[in-house]
Structure 1
Amino acid sequence: MKKIITLLMGLVLLAGCSSPAEKNEDTFEALMEKGEIVVGLDDTFVPMGFRNQQGELVGFDVDLAKEIFDRIGITPKFQPIDWSLKESELNSGNIDLIFNGYTITDARKEKVNFSDPYMDNTQIIITMASSDIMSKEDLTGKVVSVQKESSAYDAVSGEEGVVENLKNGELITFDSNLDLFMDLEAGRSDAIVLDEVFARYVLLSKNIEEYRILEDNFGQEEYGIGFRKSDTTLLEKVNETLEEIRSDGTFDEIKKVYIND
């Protein structure tokens, strides 16, 4: 009987220690009391969130998150994550937000709530300049690579008649967009599909004449911030603050540091 009572007390204590995220509750008050919010990001995704030469996390989304949460009154803690597990990390409570060039899609809306869109993007196709690929049609029989679990993967996979006509009828996937460039340059990939925001920033540090950006693309999209379905108060506060930052010009000031339109 004592063992049973001890076991039951332990279960009660465990239930009492579970986080608001685990209990599918609105976590805003708990986060404010804690004074910290965990922001999940891919720390190789230039210019949105990446490490500078000193190893510090910088980028447009990093600075924007700092400004948003400074105004709300809570400190952001940036947590690099495996991008392919981003929604699982969020809904398990390991992070409180997905904030790093996170494309709004219908499939993702089933797993998370999104903030208002804050930036436009395009899924572009890049080859080496010496390639004979000039259009989407020329991808037939070619090796095409994308980032794993990315909106590029969704965009290419969602277009009828594309993937089945690639070499071996499949897309090649990598953990990061930087890996795509390395594979393209090594001649293993014939073409890569990725975010224009990322690609154009990377190409600034390369000889752009060695590459070709096709006129064809895999669609326009918008970036948003991802929230747990239960975090409606946090979503509302972030949207209100994001609108303030846009209205007073701070958004454009942050953007000028990292992105040249």
Structure 2
Amino acid sequence: MRVFTKKLSALLLAVGLTAALTGCGGKTESAADTKDQLARIQESGTIVIAMEGTWAPWTYHDENDKLVGYDVEVGSKIAEKLGVTPTFVEGEWDGLLAGLDAGRYDIMVNGVDITEERSEKYDFSTPYAYNRTAVIVSSDNDTIHTLEDLKGKHTANTISSTYAQLAEQYGAEVTGVDDLNQTFELLLSGRIDATLNAEMTYYDYMKEHPDAQVKIAVLTDDANKVAIPFRKGDDSATLREAVNKAIDELRESGELKELSEKYFGTDISTMEQ
């Protein structure tokens, strides 16, 4: 009977140990499941960054088909600050946002403006670029100094754009065009007085056409804030804090300014331009 009792005790002890180990294992797995997005990224060693890859100078392919651009370098520097490797995934705008929602991408770095509508759905980082509206005129035009001076003037934009609406709001007659090149053709030929567009669009155009006889006559005081969207919720909170810290450090070190001047010909990393 003693032998049987000893065997039974040993068996019960073994079962108890197995249960205890299983319990510990369960706790470990549960802890892994509760790791937030930043912890998962650092554990994997890579951050998946979504962008279009077709929008120069933000994200585009150079003559060697290499993915380059302002946002590519900004994303790379943020990844370096986080101690991980960036993996860039290209796609169409709507698909990128859907992929962010579904968790296929960690962040989207693609010149995204902060808007009220987007802020309802996403949390945003500290802005890393600022984009004001510019009234662009020919170099010899000295008749436009404020938005109010657009009254009675002829401008050109795609009809459905907010720039066309703003020009009409200030009394301009707007000619509809299909694209930016057509707009500048009309301006340079003297068939329109001005065009309204993003400040950075002007700088990009001048980078490609340095001898173009055009200038900025007016810059709006308010600027669109360009930032990085995150999925809403506590899961991404520490990642957003880490990205904000990285952006602040890149701005303080002058690296954002350097990248801005490289791709846009001016510093877009601050409101004080």
Q: Which one of the candidate residues 70, 77, 91 is aligned to 1:60?
A: 70
Matching residue's letter, 2:38: F
Alpha-carbon distance, 1:238 to partner: 0.6
Distance 1:162 1:49, change over 3 A: same
Contact 1:43 1:50 in 2 (8 A): yes
Going by fraction, where is helix more abundant, 1 or 2? 2
Residue 106 in structure 1 maps to residue 120 in structure 2: no
Residue 209 in structure 1 maps to residue 212 in structure 2: yes
Distance 1:41 1:109, change over 3 A: same
Matched with 1:27 is 37
Distance 1:208 1:85, change over 3 A: farther
Alpha-carbon distance, 1:108 to partner: 1.7
**What is the alpha-carbon distance in structure 2 between the residues aligned to residue 102 and residue 237 of structure 1?**
19
Alpha-carbon distance, 1:115 to partner: 0.6
Residue 42 in structure 1 maps to residue 45 in structure 2: no
Matched with 2:245 is 240
Alpha-carbon distance, 1:46 to partner: 3.0
Unaligned runs of 5+ in 2: 1-34, 267-273
How many pairs align? 222
Contact 2:134 2:217 in 1 (8 A): yes
Instruction: Give deviations 1:180-199, integer Å, cap 9, x for gaps.
Output: 32342566x97764321232
Residue 116 in structure 1 maps to residue 98 in structure 2: no
Contact 1:60 1:255 in 2 (8 A): yes
The CA RMSD over aligned residues, in Å, is 3.9
Matching residue's letter, 1:144: N
Contact 1:128 1:185 in 2 (8 A): no
Query: SS where residue 134 of structure 2 aligns?
Result: strand
Contact 2:124 2:229 in 1 (8 A): yes
Matching residue's letter, 1:54: N
Matched with 2:151 is 137
State the TM-score, normalizing by the size of structure 2: 0.63
**What is the alpha-carbon distance in structure 2 between the residues aligned to residue 82 and residue 218 of structure 1?**
31
Q: Which one of the candidate residues 251, 255, 259 is aligned to 1:254?
A: 259
Matching residue's letter, 2:112: Y
| Dislocated runs of 4+, deviation >6 Å | 127-131, 163-168
State the TM-score, normalizing by the size of structure 1: 0.65
**What is the alpha-carbon distance in structure 1 between the residues aligned to residue 167 and residue 100 of structure 2?**
31
**What is the alpha-carbon distance in structure 2 between the residues aligned to residue 122 and residue 192 of structure 1?**
14
Query: SS where residue 42 of structure 2 aligns?
Result: helix
Matches for 1:146-157 after TM superposition, within 5 Å: 153=161
Matching residue's letter, 2:183: L
Instruction: Give deviations 1:104-141, integer Å, cap 9, x for gaps.
Output: 2222211211111222221224467899x96543577x
**What is the alpha-carbon distance in structure 2 between the residues aligned to residue 40 and residue 166 of structure 1?**
39
Query: SS where residue 110 of structure 1 aligns?
Result: helix
Alpha-carbon distance, 1:227 to partner: 1.1
Contact 1:145 1:192 in 2 (8 A): no
Alpha-carbon distance, 1:229 to partner: 0.9
Residue 223 in structure 1 maps to residue 237 in structure 2: no
**What is the alpha-carbon distance in structure 1 between the residues aligned to residue 117 and residue 259 of structure 2?**
30
Matched with 1:182 is 181
Instruction: Give deviations 1:72-91, integer Å, cap 9, x for gaps.
Output: 12221222332355433321
Larger Rg, first or second structure (1 or 2) = 2
